[in-house]
Amino acid sequence: MESITAADASHTLIHLTDAEFEKLTGFVYQTYGIDLHRKRLLIEGRLANELRSRGLSSFSSYMEVLFADKTGNEMNRFLSKITTNHSFFGRENEHFDFLLNTALPYLEPRRKGDLRIWSAGCSAGQEAYNIAMAMDQYFGPRKNAWDTTILATDISMKVLSEAREATYPESSLAGLPQEWCSRYFTPVGNGNYQVIERIRREVVFKTFNLMDPFVYKKPFDIIFCRNVMIYFDAKTTANLVDKFYDATAEGGYFFVGHSEAINRDRTQYTYLKPAIFQKLSSESNLK
């Protein structure tokens, strides 16, 4: 394996060859559905320090390490570098307003004590905990009669570890009502806040690749997959939306990010409003 000296490292700019670029992006696309074919400079920039710190002189040498690792740690490290795991509480708050004022009032009389909820591509957990807080806010004293456990998945073990810790800087809470900040968080020092245990218990975090087959005991009533499909091309996005549709219970809701385009002519979901869809048969109604 080729290497470079520490003295040369800081002055060497390592570029992807065409063959390396095709091999790396092809693998990521086939395995994770992430389309990096227009991200050559991003890959080189975000991995430059990684290669230099290891004394590697080429991406071929790096890929030897990446593909040889059987633990998954190297791939998770790589994915964390090329994707943006930026999230915060109250992101696209109109989704949570819709959840509280429309979706849950529709679902409550149609379900019997059990709501199936999935936060897909949950990053560091803010979205999943935000959903749990909305559930707590909506059901109030009726909450004990309901199972609203939230499945939260991501491909990155690193962000899932952060999610389970549930500790966030004060700045990431800015989008929440002050009442929620006081009710659902505990200050833990250094300007950080931790989600209270009662809400943490509502979320189950698991590693999952959305390109894999979906396996579930019962379909989901609420699915959030926001700002995840921005990494996918149109074909992968369409196929993934079909998989989500099949995994959605009749009358269930599907939330995507406002920056994500869903082909409304192709999907079987019923469009409700920007970035919000519902699974409705021709016999269904919203009364």
pLDDT per position as a tens digit, 90-105 = 778 899 999 999 999 9
Q: In the prediction, which pLDDT does 241 show? A: 96
Confidence band, pLDDT 50/70/90 cuts, at residue 282: low
Asked if residue 243 has pLDDT above 70, the reply is yes
Question: What structural domains does the chain harbor?
Answer: 6-82 (1.10.155.10), 94-278 (3.40.50.150)
User: In the annotation, is 46 catalytic?
Assistant: yes
Q: One of 35, 52, 116, 154 is an active-site residue; which one?
A: 154
pLDDT tens-digit readout, 71-82: 888 888 888 888
CA distance 226 to 121: 7
User: In the annotation, is 183 catalytic?
Assistant: no
Q: In the prediction, which pLDDT does 12 show? A: 61
CA distance 160 to 80: 11
Torsion, Cα 50 54 55 61, to 10 degrees, reads -80
C-beta separation of 60 from 22 below 8 A: no
- Strand partners for 153: 120, 206
CA distance 145 to 96: 22
Q: In the prediction, which pLDDT does 86 show? A: 62
